[in-house]
Amino acid sequence: MKLKLIPKNEQELSKLFVLIFPLIVLLASFTSFLKDAYFTFANLIPNNKIFNYGFLDILNNQVIYGLLFATCICLSFTYLFSKSLGRIAVLFPLLFLTLLGLVGTEFLDIIFSFFYQDGINLTGSNSLLIILKVLVGFGLFGLATLNLLAKKENSIFASAQFIYGAIVFYFISLLISRSELIVFTDSLMISSLHTSSLKYVAVSFIFLAVVHFLMTKPLGATLFNKTLTAISFWGFLFLLPWTNFKYYFGSVMPNWLENVSIYLSLSLLIPLLAFSVNYVKTIQTKEDEGNKSSSLMSFSVVIFLITNLLHIISSFENILPLVGLTNFQNVINQGYIGSLVLAMISFVYYLIPKLFGRSVKYSRLEDLIFSGFKFLYPVLLINNFLIGVNSGYSWNAGANTGSPTIYGEGFNILWGVVGINYSTNTFISLLLMALSFLFFVSVARSISSGDVTTVEEMVFSNE
Amino acid sequence: MSDLVNKVAELLNAPVDLVQRSAEARAQASGVSVDDVLNSWAGGESVAASSAPAAKEEAPVEEVKEEAPEELVEEIEAQEVVEEIVEEVIELKKESSLAFVSGVLLIGIFTFVFAFVIPKNQSISAVESSLNNSVNVSSEVLKGAEIYGELNCQSCHTQNVRTLIPDTQNGKVLKNKYANEALIRNVGTIRLGPDLSTNATREPTNNSQWLRRYLTDSSSVNRDIPHPNYGFLDDSDLEYLVTYLLSLGEINE
């Protein structure tokens, strides 16, 4: 295996991100497990400045939505975006540095949070570093725009469109997190739009970029309808950023914003249907069964569809008081990031032979990884869904009987209902961490000792 | 006519409507009928030979005619037409990067302005015009609020009573006011633990000794609900935190 210190093109750079992706998934699952353990057993295990739920929650958030997501952007950008260009990226050395900067600043953010906990702001970022992040984000946005404008290909691949949308909204989320907190509403406004632009739009667009690639080329299928892709692209791009405000229905935010959010969330059905039909019809034209990891990609699509359906169902006004401010919001976040990670795992298995020239042996280990993720992730989502909905019901029931469970004295009743689900969450996190470790072992084994195969040749020319 | 178009389309491997439009354009430019053009593309008589094009265009065609056999001239002309059509096909398929980039940026700017800048300014204007529009607290409370934020207590506890039934039964609805950054940050967005907005007005959380004990050794107070222990805080920080928690209730007045 050769890994050049300074890559010459996107294909060589992709190798680096394929290598670090399993490590970062392992880190993310480890911090998730620690966070859950410190929530469930907070009064049984020793607490200090680092090992307490508050800090671990921020750390986990930074690892997943910072470092892991940045790696996903970089990997999809380097491999998929270049396919739309028909040439080596314009200013490739600068792009290389920017992508390294993107992952680097997210990594620094995690390291700094251990030493400078005072500087942690609303979105869990150190204030000085976020300026650097904004600059890097702007650099990536600028380079992506420049490359799209200078492309040689006649059409823009669907994947590249989704990646560009993700970059624009990632940049917007960085800008929002720098906003000033002046009145109480700002807390909800900033948190809400930051969540929807980063955790909804950017995350789901990288997922859609990867899926639009995986459902066509590796399976030998032809994209069913480009118009449906356009509907899903523009529909999700326009609607998703507005969909988080509804969870603060009845709060201090302007009423019109909450109402618009409800109606636009219901409209998500249009791009969702367009994507579903396109996916199903495209898969029907497949000429190749693909590798075993393709099943994980299909499963990630199911998770994505369910997440969006839950997002739509929760928009009804009589359901909102039950799910708003509860753990249900975490189900939506976990649904989007989970579908992305599962699709990326499938993508990594596809890329190993193409980039490293080593074939993947789909043995029992890989079967265990795929089955494990397919079983555990829905259980995790269902569990958090139950916590969210039961909390909402308990609040309503408590309020009606005059024993409010929202406040301290009635909270024992609520904990009696959801406590077991939190313990289950910790157990699932432990198993997911074990699976992530096996995924890391599987990738390392394939790259180091897989049978030699042909490396994909990408046509790169700036002539 | 339609058979001819279909035949040419099949011959040139191009869409029928495109062939039709190209033939019409060529016929107009050459001053001949569409059928003549289609016939020539289908392998019949050359358009150039039967037309009366402008003098500048005529000369080279005649030169070629003199030097090469008629079949060759026709072949060259047909090839030119094929290239023209192929170029048009590519031109039709070509997507404008500029339009795409502009569209995405427009939606980005639209979202930023209408979902963030305008409602944010609207909220600030509403506070400006209200009577009781700011929260005034002591420096000890502020210090406590900062410690609360650093410990990330808002990841489990909200201070956000809504106008909805589950909340309004026993709490004061959060009003929009000017406040210090630390106070605003502590509002919280997810309620995994109890809401603390009226902490100072309820038993037993309005008792400073109970709070101190709960924060340093929660299981000695309530074994059933897990809560982190903050015994690692120094005495002054713990005192600031307790002072802040005992102020919650007044802030939402």
CATH code for the domain in which residue B161 is found: 1.10.760.10
CB contact under 8 A, A154 and B170: no
Can you tell me the mean pLDDT for A422-434? Answer: 97
Whether the link from the prior residue into B204 is cis, omega within 30° of 0, is: yes
- Whether B122 has its CB under 8 Å from any CB of chain A: the answer is yes
Binned at pLDDT 50, 70 and 90, residue B20 comes out as confident
Residues in chain A: 463
Q: Report the share of chain A in percent with pLDDT over 90.
A: 70
Same domain membership, residue B87 and residue B22: yes
Q: Is residue B101 assigned to a domain?
A: no
Radius of gyration of chain A (CA): 22
Residue B122 located in a structural domain: no
Of residues B123, B162, B203, nearest to A185 (C-beta):
B123
Per-residue pLDDT at A289: 79
Q: Which domain holds residue B157?
A: 139-247
pLDDT reading at A98 higher than 90: yes
Looking at the domain assignment, is residue B13 inside a domain?
yes
Residue A167 has pLDDT above 90, yes or no: yes
User: How many Å is the Cα radius of gyration of chain B?
Assistant: 40
- Pairwise pLDDT comparison (A119 vs B107), residue with the higher score: B107
Whether residue A426 contacts residue A415, with contact meaning beta carbons closer than 8 Å, is answered with no
With respect to residue B66, please indicate whether it lies within any of the assigned structural domains: yes
Of A83-87, A122-126, A315-319, B21-25, minimum mean pLDDT range: A122-126
Whole-angstrom distance, CA of residue B37 vs CA of residue A409: 90
Using an 8 Å Cβ cutoff, are A127 and A116 in contact? no
Q: What is the pLDDT of residue B101?
A: 94
Beta carbons within 8 Å of A335's beta carbon, 6+ residues apart: A303, A304, A306, A307, A310, A381
Lowest mean pLDDT among A158-167, A207-216, B121-130, B160-169: B160-169
The more confidently predicted of residues A272 and B89 is A272
- Residue A450: pLDDT band (50, 70, 90) is confident
- pLDDT, one tens digit per residue, over A31-41 is 999 999 999 99
- Number of domains present in the structure of chain B: 2
pLDDT at B3 over 60: yes
pLDDT surpasses 80 at B251: no
B82 plus B10 within the same structural domain: yes
Residues in contact with B105: Cβ distance below 8 Å, sequence separation at least 6, in sequence order: A168
Task: Kindly report the nearest CA distance between residue B45 and chain A, in angstroms.
Answer: 35
Q: Are residues B144 and B233 part of one domain?
A: yes
The reply to whether B64 and B150 lie within a common domain is: no
* B61 has a pLDDT exceeding 70: no
Q: Report the residue from A49, A145, A254 with minimal CB separation from B101.
A: A145
* CB spacing of B181 vs A409 below 8 angstroms: no
Average pLDDT over residues A12-41: 95
pLDDT of residue B85: 53
Helix axes A158-177, A203-214, angle to 10 degrees: 170
Residue B57 has pLDDT above 50, yes or no: no
Tell me the ipTM for this assembly. Answer: 0.92
* Closest CB from A179, A251, A408 relative to B160: A251
Q: What is the pLDDT of residue A124?
A: 47
Secondary structure of chain A as H, E, C letters: CCCCCCCCCHHHHHHHHHHHHHHHHHHHHHHHHHHHHHHHCCCCCCCCCCCCHHHHHHHHHHHHHHHHHHHHHHHHHHHHHHHHCCCCCCCHHHHHHHHHHHHHHHHHHHHHHHHCHHHECCCCCEHHHHHHHHHHHHHHHHHHHHHHHCCCCCCCCHHHHHHHHHHHHHHHHHHHHCCCCCEHHHHHHHHHHHHHHHHHHHHHHHHHHHHHHHCCCCCCCCCCCHHHHHHHHHHHHHHHHHCCHHHHCCCCCCHHHHHHHHHHHHCCHHHHHHHHHHHHHHHHCCCCCCCCCHHHHHHHHHHHHHHHHHHHHCCCCCCHHHHCCCCHHHHHHHHHHHHHHHHHHHHHHHHHHHHHCECCCCCHHHHHHHHHHHHHHHHHHHHHHHHHHHHHHHHHHHHHHCCCCCCHHHHHHHHHHHHHHHHHHHHHHHHHHHHHHHHHHHHHHHHHHCCECCCCCCCCCCC
Residue that the structure tokens 């280990």 belong to: A365
Q: Are residues B76 and B154 in the same domain?
A: no
Strand partners, A183: B178
CB contact under 8 A, B228 and A53: yes
| Residue B165 scores a pLDDT above 90 | no
CA A378 to chain centre: 16
CB < 8 Å to A197, chain B: 111
* Inter-residue contact A362 to A353 (CB < 8 Å): no
Q: What is the pLDDT of residue A168?
A: 97
Same domain? B143 vs B231: yes
Cβ–Cβ below 8 Å for B120 and A179: yes
Instruction: Of A346-350, A418-422, B146-150, B220-224, give the lowest mean pLDDT range.
Output: B220-224
Per the CB < 8 A criterion, the answer to whether B199 and B205 are in contact is yes
Q: Choose the final residue of a domain: B37, B62, B93.
A: B93
Structure tokens at A130: 């976020």
Number of neighbouring beta carbons within 10 Å of residue A6: 8
Instruction: For residue A448, give the nearest of A360, A324, A320 by alpha carbon.
Output: A360
B123 belongs to a structural domain: no
Contacts of B218 in chain A (CB under 8 A): 42-43
pLDDT of residue B221: 87
Alpha carbons A201 and B88: distance in angstroms, whole number: 36
| Model confidence band, residue B55 (pLDDT cutoffs 50, 70, 90) | very low
Please answer yes or no on whether B228 and A47 come within 8 Å at the CB atom. yes
Name every chain A residue with its beta carbon within 8 A of the beta carbon of B97: 148-149, 151, 156
Note whether residue B192 is domain-resident.
Answer: yes
Is B89's Cβ below 8 Å from some Cβ in A? no
Q: Is B143 in the same domain as B230?
A: yes
Which pLDDT tens digit goes with each residue over B91-104? 445 678 899 999 99
B106 close contact with A: CB closer than 8 A: no
* pLDDT band at residue B81 using 50, 70 and 90 as cut-offs: low
- Which of the residue ranges A292-306, B60-74, B124-138 would you say has the lowest mean pLDDT? B60-74
Confidence at residue B66, expressed as pLDDT on a 0 to 100 scale:
42
Res. B164 pLDDT band, cuts 50 70 90: confident
CB contact under 8 A, A185 and B176: yes
Q: Is residue B115 part of a domain?
A: no
B104 interaction partners in chain A (CB closer than 8 Å): 164-165, 168, 237
The verdict on domain A10-449 having CATH code 1.25.40.10 is: no
Dist CA A135 CA A331 (whole Å): 31
Encoding tokens for residue A278? 């396109």
Per the prediction, chain A carries an average pLDDT of 90
In the prediction, which pLDDT does B94 show?
Answer: 60
Cβ <8 Å between A53 and B155:
yes
Is residue B214 assigned to a domain?
yes
Whether residue B146 sits in one domain with residue B66: no
Verify that B84 and B174 share a domain, yes or no: no
Q: How confident is the model at residue B45 (pLDDT cuts 50, 70, 90)?
A: very low
Whether residue B150 sits in one domain with residue B88: no
**Chain B partners within 8 Å of A154 (Cβ):** 90, 93-95
Per-residue pLDDT, B62 = 35
Q: Using an 8 Å Cβ cutoff, are A74 and A114 in contact?
A: no
Report d(CA B69, CA A93) in Å as an integer.
56
Angle at the Cα of A39 (from A38 to A41), degrees rounded to 5? 65
- Kindly state whether residues B83 and B165 are assigned to the same domain: no
- What are the start-end ranges of the H helices in chain B? 2-12, 16-30, 34-41, 47-50, 55-67, 70-93, 97-112, 118-128, 139-150, 165-168, 181-185, 208-216, 235-247
Residue in A54, A254, A416 nearest the CB of B151: A54
Residue with more model confidence, B161 or A140? A140
pLDDT over threshold 60, residue B44: no
pLDDT at B244 > cutoff 90: yes
Provide the b/e sequence for B140-153 (b: ≥16 CB within 10 Å).
ebbbbbbbbbbbbb
A156: left (phi over 0), alpha (psi -120 to 50) or beta: beta
